[in-house]
Each structure stands twice: as structure tokens, then as C-alpha cells.
Amino acid sequence: MSARRTFILSWMGALIWFPSISQTSVKTVIAEKGDGIYSLLRKQGMNPVRHYGHFVDLNQDNLRDSMHLYEGREYIIPQVPADTIAIEESVAKKATEIKTVSNILSDDIFGKDYASTEIKSNKLQGAVYYLISGHGGPDPGAIEKYEGKIIAEDEYAYDITLRLAKELISHGAKTYIIIRDPNDGIRDQRVLEIDRDEVAYPNEEIPLNQLLRLKQRVDIVNKLYLENSGKYQRLIVTHVDSRSRGQNIDVFFYHHENSKNGKRLAESIHETFLKKYRQYQPNRNYEGTFADRSGLYLVKNTLPAMAYIEIGNIKNKKDQKRILDPDNRQALAKWISEGVLLDFDNGN
């Protein structure tokens, strides 16, 4: 065999073997008892808020109800550059106000661990959203005892609202979080500690009187609405209900009877929930509805088209599973955001 031919064969052999050297192995882990998506990702040293969606996409056929892990099953872990976690932590520590770092926005309102929000798309570019969580400040809403500890409505509505805000921001929306807590951020515990230090945007003390408290929120939203005149604007209120302990309720959506855009927003989110339940819980009837509730103060007096969302009954044991599990709270925020995206697509 000539030297030239030997060289060619050797070179071709190198080409044949090169791809196998460059292949990246897929990392998987086995879910242990008590693991949720958040805790599993955190064990891998990853930011669970940032990588939650990617994890679900990779493992959607191996999840119960699109959000729960099966103990003992193997799950694919999203591939993350080695320095990503360090970068996220650095950005979170240095952030004192919203600022852009490449395709990452950072805001301390989400807490030290989750300050960074990756911009995934510009699907909501130009849209403005006002997010109000129920109660807050001197009024925690209804309280209930859970495993010997006290839980309150406002803490869970606020946590879901923060998660929703991150989802909307990740698609390019300008988002105002109207009720704000300077030190809570997104929390992954089941029992969220009660405090009374929430303020109204940008930093107003929340009145104890219910009517004054609601009027304050209306005035803030309406002022911002006029400042953003001409833009696509929507208001979303999240509220945890309090009913008799025996009453299990699904997620409900309300709108103003005379608001065509508000009705479409509520209907779009409701339609998304229906689709999710059919997909992930086909044997369970979803009984949540959307309807006009024009008598509610916030529904009646705010200017933007709006959807008022009742998340569940804090006193009911079944609803507590939906509200207290951080993975469930993330799923609720994700589903609401998908309904918001559907509404925006239909409205443009």
C-alpha cells in the first residue's frame, strides 16, 4: 500500500472517530422520596426558577400532572455551562435595581436566589402588565393552621404573583408588581412565614382599612395606566380564597361584564387550564369557570382590562396541596402565563 493511500485511510479514520470524542453525555438523576422539581434541581447546584421550564420540556412524558416527579424514576438534567451558576449568583448579589446583563434581567424583588430572569423571547414585547396579589401589609387575609404552624393567604398569593412576573418578564413584558415585599422574594418552602412589611408600588405603606387599601391599589394602577397610554395593558389579580374547610374549589377567573378584552383575558387563561387538566388529569373534571364579577372593587374601578384569579381555598386540605407545594405554585404561574400569551396573540 502506498504511503499516500495509508495517509488518506488514517485521515478518514480520524474523521470517523472524531464525532464520538465530541459527543456530550446526557446527565440523569434518580428522584428520591420527597423530591420535587425544585429540590431536585437545587441538589444539582442549579437555579430551579431559571431551569424549571427546560427540565419540564425534557421530562414531560415522565411527570405526573406535568409537575410532579415519580420516586425512583430517572430524569434528564438540563445541560448548563459550568460557569452559569457562578454568574447567576454574582449577578444576584450585585443587583440593587433592575439592570440588563446580556439576556438576563436582575431584580432583587425576586429574592437573592432568584433575582436573575433569563429573557427567553420577545413574544410580549410592548405589553404592560400590572400584578396585584391579595391582602398584604397589615392584613394577611385568612389564616389557617397547617401541621402546627400558621399560614396566611397573602404570602401564597404573593409567591405565585412573583413567579408569574418572572414568566412574563422572560417573554419581554414590562411588569409592575404592585404589592411588594422587600425581603421575601420567591420561596420554595411549603410553610411561608407570615410578615406584615409588604408595601404598595413603589414604596407606599398599605392602609389597614379595607376600602382605603383597595382604593390605594386602584389609584396606583390607574395612574400607571395613564402614564402608559396607548400601550397594550392588562391587570391580573391573584387571590387565595377562604371558605369552609370542606369546600374544595378549582381555580376561578373573573372579569368585568362590560370589558370585552377582560373577558378574553380571563377566557384565555381558563382555556389554558382546561387544556392542561385534559392533558395531565384526563380522569378529573375541572370545574373552574370564568365569569363576570363587576361588583368586586378592583374589577369595578381599575382602568386596564383585567382578570381576577381565585387560586383556591386555603382552609381546604385538597386545595392546600395546590397552594403549599412550591412546584404547584410554579405550575400555576406557568399556566397563567401561557394563558396570557394566548390572550396577547389573540389580541394582536
Answer yes or no: is 16 within a domain: no
pLDDT at site 24:
53
Does one domain contain both 240 and 114?
A: no
Bridging pattern class, strands 127-133 and 174-177: parallel
Answer yes or no: is 264 within a domain: yes
In sequence order, the β-bridge partners of residue 118 are: 104
Does one domain contain both 213 and 164?
A: yes
Does one domain contain both 62 and 148?
A: no
The mean pLDDT value of the chain amounts to 86
Answer yes or no: is 189 within a domain: yes
pTM across the whole model: 0.79
Instruction: Tell me the C-alpha distance between 322 and 325, whole Å.
Output: 6
Answer yes or no: is 6 within a domain: no
> In terms of pLDDT, which residue wins out, 6 or 258?
258
Check: CB of residue 69 under 8 Å from CB of residue 98.
no
Whether residue 98 is predicted with pLDDT greater than 90 in this model: the reply is no
Answer yes or no: is 10 within a domain: no
Does one domain contain both 162 and 259?
A: yes
Whether residue 67 is predicted with pLDDT greater than 60 in this model: the reply is yes
Instruction: Tell me the C-alpha distance between 139 and 275, whole Å.
Output: 35
pLDDT at site 193:
96
Answer yes or no: is 190 within a domain: yes
Encode pLDDT of 79-89 as tens digits: 876 444 444 44
Does one domain contain both 161 and 200?
A: yes
Check: CB of residue 191 under 8 Å from CB of residue 148.
no
**Mean pLDDT, residues 24-37:** 86
Does one domain contain both 156 and 44?
A: no
Answer yes or no: is 15 within a domain: no
Does one domain contain both 243 and 98?
A: no
User: What contacts 21, CB < 8 A, 6 or more positions away?
Assistant: none
Encode pLDDT of 267-325 as tens digits: 999 999 999 988 888 888 888 888 999 999 999 999 999 999 999 999 998 899 889 99
Encode pLDDT of 188-207 as tens digits: 999 999 999 999 999 999 99
**CATH classification at residue 29:** 3.10.350
**Mean pLDDT, residues 244-271:** 91
pLDDT at site 47:
79
Does one domain contain both 190 and 254?
A: yes
Instruction: Tell me the C-alpha distance between 296 and 298, whole Å.
Output: 6
Structurally, how many domains does the chain consist of?
3
**CATH classification at residue 249:** 3.40.630.40
Whether residue 1 is predicted with pLDDT greater than 60 in this model: the reply is no
**Mean pLDDT, residues 53-62:** 88
Whether residue 110 is predicted with pLDDT greater than 90 in this model: the reply is yes
User: What contacts 12, CB < 8 A, 6 or more positions away?
Assistant: none
Does one domain contain both 318 and 229?
A: yes
Encode pLDDT of 327-338 as tens digits: 999 999 999 999
Q: The domain containing residue 90 runs over which residues? A: 84-118
> In terms of pLDDT, which residue wins out, 213 or 8?
213
User: What contacts 282, CB < 8 A, 6 or more positions away?
Assistant: none
Backbone angles phi, psi at 290, to 5 degrees: -120, 140
Encode pLDDT of 151-189 as tens digits: 999 999 999 999 999 999 999 999 999 999 999 999 999
